[in-house]
Amino acid sequence: MPAEFKFDIPASRSEHDTSPDKVPSCCAARRMAAQASSGCGTPSMEHEHKLPERIDTASVPEAKIEAADAMKRPETSSWPVIPEGIYILGTNDGEGFPSDAEGPARPVHVKSFRISPYTVTNAEYAAFVAATGYVTEAERFGWSYVFHLLIPDLERVSIVGSPQQTPWWHGVEGAYWRVPEGPGSSVDDRMNHPVVHVSWNDAQAYCEWAGVRLPTEIEWEAASRGGLEGKRYPWGDVLRPDGEHRCNIWQGVFPTKNHASDGYLGTAPVDAYKPNGYGLYNVSGNVWEWCADWFTQNPDKRGSSEQPQGPAEGVSRLMKGGSYLCHQSYCNRYRVAARSSNTPDSSTGNIGFRMAVDI
Ligand SMILES: [Ca+2]
């Protein structure tokens, strides 16, 4: 990548390990933690933007919210029910990344819950924004990360910088969920694609409005296995059974040549490919999915064996599933047990979320 893309970016949004991480033993979460604790000399975005943890619906006319609620809030009663039981969290698979604390595998008890079959779409997020006037963090910060090959014309966007460790990400001014590649782009023909450029805080705000919540890691993992036990992917151990693509990842040479033989360079519709045994679509690939948990690299802090919810505090939030940028040779984190993280205010073009609800 060109050297001129090495810029100084505020630490809180500087490392976006949603992309393949070439050096898994030096994951972005640790780099972020180190930078944050050392104060790294860059201005803190939090100091400049006091971002609300919760949306302020008090300022939105009640009738407007009710009207939108009635039409657009997710109908959870149709969501797949994940049965109560003992599920295996993590893996001892040799393909796992020990530094990500994927292992050791351990049995945990999970209560029954419902989970959305799809990640939240642009259409759904648009309804939330229309109902509440919510402004995402990418909009407040004024930029978000876009993968370089997805930017139609580099000359026509303003790039605020790129992380040195992952220079294929460009911080594009004006990029947010509605204009995912920056000004001039649109989601009009992607309303059934996952919403992206939403931070963990943005996802949380949506969930609060919708009366749902983010799944915990073990809930996500239990649901994504689709009833199978100990398999690498939601459908089994073979990435492409009978040569069939089962998820939206990267084919070719990362990060310069994507053959897209699975049909998609960027995001795919949320219902692309076959669902897993529980009826969940695209748990592997397409977009990383925010989970409720804080991220830890210490396996002993991943919670108890009874409905674990991760550590009590942390620096970054957990993500599962991998994205359209994952490649087997580089970042095979589209495996069920794989995990990554990012700071709660981070947003990129390959992070979305799905929802869960108690029964
Ligand atoms: Ca693809």
| Distance in Å, CA 236 to ligand 1 centroid | 19
Res 71: pLDDT: 54
Res 1: pLDDT: 35
Res 215: pLDDT: 98
pLDDT along the chain (359 residues), means of 10: 34 41 28 27 28 41 49 87 96 89 94 98 95 96 97 93 93 97 96 98 97 97 96 97 98 95 98 98 98 94 92 96 91 94 97 98
User: Which protein residues have a CB closer than 5 Å to ligand 1 (ion)?
Assistant: 248, 260, 262, 264, 324
CA 255 to CA 225: how far, in whole Å?
A: 29
| Distance in Å, CA 87 to ligand 1 centroid | 30
267, 321 in Cβ contact below 8 A? no
| Distance in Å, CA 333 to ligand 1 centroid | 14
Res 66: pLDDT: 52
Res 219: pLDDT: 98
| Distance in Å, CA 265 to ligand 1 centroid | 5
Res 98: pLDDT: 86
CA 81 to CA 87: how far, in whole Å?
A: 15
Res 62: pLDDT: 52
Res 303: pLDDT: 86
| Distance in Å, CA 148 to ligand 1 centroid | 15
Helix ranges restricted to H, the chain: 28-38, 45-48, 62-72, 122-132, 137-141, 200-210, 217-224
CA 279 to CA 209: how far, in whole Å?
A: 25
Burial zone of 162 (CB within 10 Å; 0-12 exposed, 13-18 middle, 19+ buried): buried
**CA triplet 311, 323, 312: central angle to 5 degrees?**
5
Helix (H) or strand (E) holding 294: strand 288-294
Taking Cα atoms as reference points, which of 218, 214, 186 lies closest to residue 199? Answer: 214
CA 291 to CA 218: how far, in whole Å?
A: 9
